[in-house]
């Protein structure tokens, strides 16, 4: 009961707000993925923040550490009691930015044509006063020659540096995607684009037929 009450108290600190989050990761040859998650926050008077993470589909979160301006912070993680991991971070007064580092065990799974990736986000227990595009962003680097086939909660955009990026109006519980080294003809974004083109062409064809109809 005490951890729950403390968790609720941390969430209700007056004026506290999560301002921005950015996730960075690189997919290598192994199954484990190192994640770096940087937060900008407003937490006046707070000396401890709660966090939670969802261990989904067989992955596990380990080696959680936190830093403020490269200074290590004390992290306390509660024992596992289900898929949701919870813990606390002791922070200095007036902390405006902190960085979480952790390893996702089993985050990258090799498949027949590529790799399947699932990366839980360690989410701070701070309110978001206003959702906006780009509040959460991420950059995930894939092995050379690989490209994302589909993604959740949205399809990422490939950057010029080879990293795939997500931009969302809030911090998701996780990001997941499939990547392949083969060129696939039908992927979800291509199917949606093709469907839109077909609809527009059909509408244009109907318009032309009506314009050519007798009496018009």
The string of pLDDT tens digits covering residues 166-177 is 999 999 999 999
The string of pLDDT tens digits covering residues 25-61 is 999 989 999 999 999 999 998 999 999 999 988 999 9
Nearest to 92 by CA among 139, 49, 39, 152: 49
The string of pLDDT tens digits covering residues 50-100 is 999 999 889 999 999 999 999 999 999 999 888 999 999 999 998 999 999
Q: Domain extents for the chain?
A: 2-183, 185-216
**The whole model's pTM is what?**
0.78
The string of pLDDT tens digits covering residues 118-175 is 999 999 999 999 899 899 999 999 988 899 999 999 889 998 788 999 999 999 999 9
Q: Which residues, listed in sequence order, are joined to residue 152 by a DSSP beta bridge?
A: 176
State in Å, rounded, how far the first CA of the chain is from the last one: 77
CATH number of 2-183: 2.60.40.1730
Specify burial of residue 59 (Cβ count, 10 A radius: 0-12, 13-18, 19+): buried
């Amino acid at each position: 009961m005490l951890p729950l009450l403390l968790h609720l108290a941390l969430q209700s600190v007056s004026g506290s707000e999560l301002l921005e989050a950015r996730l960075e990761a690189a997919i290598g040859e192994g199954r484990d993925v190192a994640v770096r998650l940087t937060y900008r926050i407003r937490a006046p008077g707070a000396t401890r923040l709660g966090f939670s993470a969802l261990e989904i589909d067989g992955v596990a979160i380990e080696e959680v550490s936190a830093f403020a301006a490269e200074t290590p912070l004390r992290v306390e993680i509660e024992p596992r009691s289900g898929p949701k991991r919870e813990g606390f971070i002791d922070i200095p007064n007036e902390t405006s930015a902190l960085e979480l580092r952790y390893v996702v065990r089993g985050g990258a799974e090799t498949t027949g044509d590529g790799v399947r990736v699932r990366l839980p986000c360690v989410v701070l227990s701070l309110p978001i006063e206003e959702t906006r595009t780009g509040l959460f962003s991420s950059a995930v680097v894939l092995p050379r020659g690989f490209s994302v086939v589909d993604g959740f909660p949205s399809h990422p955009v490939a950057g010029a540096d080879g990293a795939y990026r997500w931009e969302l109006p809030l911090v998701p519980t996780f990001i997941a995607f499939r990547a392949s080294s083969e060129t696939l003809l039908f992927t979800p974004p291509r199917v949606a684009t093709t469907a839109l083109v077909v609809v527009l062409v059909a509408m244009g064809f109907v318009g032309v037929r009506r314009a050519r109809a007798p009496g018009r």
